[in-house]
Amino acid sequence: MLSADRPATRLATRLAFLVAGFGIACWAPLVPFAKTRLGVDDGMLGLLLLSLGIGSVLAMLLTGVLSARYGSRPIIIAGGLGLALVLPLLAIASSPSALALALFAFGAALGSIDVATNIHAVEVERAAASPLMSGFHALFSIGGFAGSALMTALLSLQFGALTCALVCSILMLIAMLVTWPRLLRSAQVQDGPLFVLPHGSVLLLALLGAITFLVEGAMLDWGALLVIGAGLVSEAQGGAGYMVFSIAMTVGRLGGDAVVARIGDRATLLWGSLIAIAGFVVLLTAPVAAVAIAGFLLIGLGASNLVPVLFRGAAKQKAMPTGLAVAAITTAGYAGVLLGPAGVGFVARASGLPTAFWLLAALMGLVTLSAGIVTKEQHRTSRARA
């Protein structure tokens, strides 16, 4: 049996995160092709895309239960293989019902591997006794960039959608074959109850996770519209802000483990959220485009390591089994991504998009105020060791 603190297990964990980010990013460039192939309008497409979200959320809830009994390894394998095998079906589904079923299965695979890789990462980090979570999450971001870039490049070369999907699927299968034998066989197997309602500190961790993911989703869906609406950039340049935000998130996570090792989880939550809030202030008061871009940069850097710290908190809390706690935080975060941008839209319609972004900054303030609470037990442990 592999030790949790070996280079092989770290490699497997990184590859699992990479596959998860790569897989979902490969689907995004295929959406316009699916819409054209099926001849559906925006409303029907939105309903079809909802199938992916439903599959993901249901799988996330089930994964916490299954991981508590059987460990994360079989679920990571099933989720990664599922992404690779279902992706080509998304490129050939010939009816709305077929696409809905394929998206549901794809979402279930994505939700499963998302939760299971975080549970596995918690175990690997625990054995290492040093921060690793930020680096693991950076691989998800890198996978997302690589997946979207490769799929877009293949489509630009006039390869068919199915051919492009098969190329990406083969790469994911190769990665999973490398990952498979290196995963821990018993990560987070527990003999306790299979289902526990989130309570205690896990509820707060889940709330903060939802807020952080909501900010990420809002930057993706609404960031460009904000700066375009403010007259700072043209429509053609609207995506520059999110590009800078994404790069800042990735760079922040690549260096995040060293930062956390130096200043600790509490300071990372406190200063990270404050930097993100400062970024919102800069973005919303920017007189020119360059200053607005600086706001995107600050938000990305500030938010980059918040989620990894929250997952580490799930491993250290005592209110409920670790696997179920990780599943609760992941599900809440995904709900933030799915529902949050729609909420931003409702606020924007009623009071304007800048007001909605000011509310996002206020929500980020809850992370600042809660930094000491969610890391209290870890702080006590560190003081006791000192």
List the pLDDT tens digit at each of the 386 positions of the chain. Answer: 455 558 888 999 999 999 998 998 888 788 888 888 898 887 788 788 888 888 888 888 888 778 777 888 999 999 999 999 999 999 999 899 999 999 999 999 998 998 899 888 888 888 887 888 899 999 988 988 888 889 888 988 989 999 999 999 999 999 999 999 989 876 545 555 555 556 567 888 889 988 998 888 788 778 888 888 888 888 767 778 888 888 898 999 999 999 999 999 999 999 999 999 999 999 999 999 999 999 999 999 999 999 889 888 877 777 677 777 887 888 888 777 777 777 888 888 888 889 999 999 999 999 999 998 887 755 554 444 44
With contact defined as beta carbons under 8 Å apart, do 222 and 230 qualify?
no
Give the other-Cβ count within 10 Å of 51's Cβ: 20
pLDDT for 64: 76
CA distance 16 to 73: 10
CA distance 197 to 64: 11
Percent of the chain whose pLDDT exceeds 70 = 91
Which of these, 340, 65, 377, lies nearest to 200 by C-alpha position? Answer: 377
Sign of the CA dihedral with 366 first, then 369, 371, and 377 last: negative
With contact defined as beta carbons under 8 Å apart, do 56 and 110 qualify?
yes
With contact defined as beta carbons under 8 Å apart, do 268 and 310 qualify?
no
Domains, the chain: 7-182 (1.20.1250.20), 201-385 (1.20.1250.20)
73-92 helix and 31-38 helix, angle to the nearest 10 degrees: 50
CA distance 319 to 157: 53
Length of the chain: 386
